[in-house]
Amino acid sequence: MRALPVPFIAFLCSCGTLAAAVVERSLEYKSGDVLCEGWQAHDDAVKGRRPGVLIVHQWTGVSDHEKEAARKLAALGYNVLVADIYGKGVRPQPPAAGKEAGKYKADRALLRSRVNAGLEALAGHELTDRSRLAATGYCFGGTTVIELARSGAKVKGVVSFHGGLDSPAPADGKNIKAKVLALHGADDPFVPAKDIAAFTAEMKAHDVDWKLVSYPGAVHSFTHKAAGTDNSKGAAYNADADRDSWFQMEQFLKRIF
């Protein structure tokens, strides 16, 4: 792995003194022969190893949305890596993003391979306590972290924000060792009721420690401010759901660690 330093971001407390410095940088790693470029963040005021949290991006690849989440989690004391599922330099925009994401959704083995490579990069980082790992993701990334759990990865928990809940192989639920938290927009048109029912059945059938939180009035991408606020488009920001879902994740991470 090779880290490429960039200027750090300082977080100041209300009195104006330095509270912590979140250092962030790009981080390259390999998934087989594919070079990936993730984004790593940590608080340099925290000493020694700390729990690691993997973040998986939405359909356009690593973006500012995931980097901002990484900063916030780093400020809470975690070592964070935004995984790169697509590979270095692959950052498609709509409509190409749909085709790229679809390639991995159609090949869950490939998806699992890429996300596990990111997890191993995080676990092997000098600041990570590899006995305390978790993963979270947005949209495509939400789907991905549930697949990470289905792969049998040794993570304490996974959190899906408005991710797809379907599975072409529900029997793989038997591999899940992690606690699962799914944060879902109750009016999300991209996650049909049959997928929610199948996900619920899968979790119950395999005695997974799981929780599904549905937000009334929220549709897809409810954590993305750039999605606008027009629910009729199927994807829109919802401030209440965004705020509560982040709180749910914070509490979940505290419990599992």
The Cα 60–Cα 52 span in angstroms is: 24
* Confidence (pLDDT) at 18: 47
Q: Which residue has the tokens 């994740």?
A: 249
* Confidence (pLDDT) at 20: 63
Retrieve residue 79's tokens: 């070592």
Q: What is the CATH number of the domain that holds 195?
A: 3.40.50.1820
Dihedrals φ, ψ of 105, to 5°?
A: -65, -30
Residues spanned by the domain of 166: 2-256
- Residue pair 173/204 in contact (Cβ under 8 Å)? The answer is no
Number of structural domains found in the chain: 1
* Confidence (pLDDT) at 19: 53
**CA distance to 73, 153, 177, 213, 243, per residue, from 172 (Å):** 30, 12, 11, 22, 32
Our measurement of the distance from residue 185's CA atom to the centroid of its chain's CA atoms, rounded to an integer in Å, reads 16
Q: Which residues of the chain have pLDDT under 50?
A: 1-18
* Confidence (pLDDT) at 10: 40
Name the 3-class secondary structure at 123.
Answer: helix
pTM as predicted: 0.92
| Amino acid code (one letter) for 212 | L
Our measurement of the distance from residue 228's CA atom to the centroid of its chain's CA atoms, rounded to an integer in Å, reads 21
Of the candidates 38, 80, 74, the residue with the CA atom closest to the CA atom of residue 57: 38
Retrieve residue 126's tokens: 């000098």
b/e map 9-41, b = 16+ CB within 10 Å = eeeeeeeeeeebbbbbebbebebeebebbbbbb
